[in-house]
Amino acid sequence: MYRELALKSVKLSVSGRGMVYVCLYALASSMYIIFSPLSIVYINMVVLSLLAIVTSILSDKKTLHQYLSVLILSGMRKRSIFFCIRTYISVRIIPLALVYTICFSYLNLYLVAIVTDIIFVLFTLYSAYPIYKVFK
């Protein structure tokens, strides 16, 4: 069942309009990081990337709301719904994490790359509950 749910969530996340915005943002911000290699730029771009994910979710608000409503109406458990939301967000985070890791590795900032990836993982884990509460 989890495989089916994961596939559905991935499909929904990839096909949404927000995915295009996330990819565009990842491209622009990575260029910024490479052209302005300053510590404040790294921090701000990572903060902005989290905002970009929230933005992408807001731009696909209707689809996500319908998806969650269907899951709730079909009697899905909270844990499963959280799993779906986390899969949905993690797919959105993948392009960002990938581009940032490459960028920071290119600048020999391996520690910054690891910290950024940890922030992304924590965001994926902890943003599921507020999203569930808002869209419920």
Strands (E), 1-133: none
Interaction pattern, residues 94-123, with other proteins; x per rule: CB under 8 A = ------------------------------
Least CB distance to other proteins at residue 34 (A): 10
DSSP secondary structure letters along 52-89: HHHHHHHHTHHHHHHHHHHHHHTT--HHHHHHHHHHHH
Q: Give which of 94, 73, 68, 98 is closest to 83, Cα–Cα.
A: 68
Q: Rounded to a whole number, what is the distance in angstroms from the first to the last CA of the chain?
A: 22
Give me the least distance between CB of 59 and other proteins, in Å please. 4
* CB nearer to other proteins: pick between 83 and 116: 116
133 binds other proteins (CB under 8 A): no
Please, which of residues 34-93 interact with other proteins by CB under 8 A?
35-36, 38, 40-41, 44-45, 47-48, 51-52, 54-56, 58-59, 61
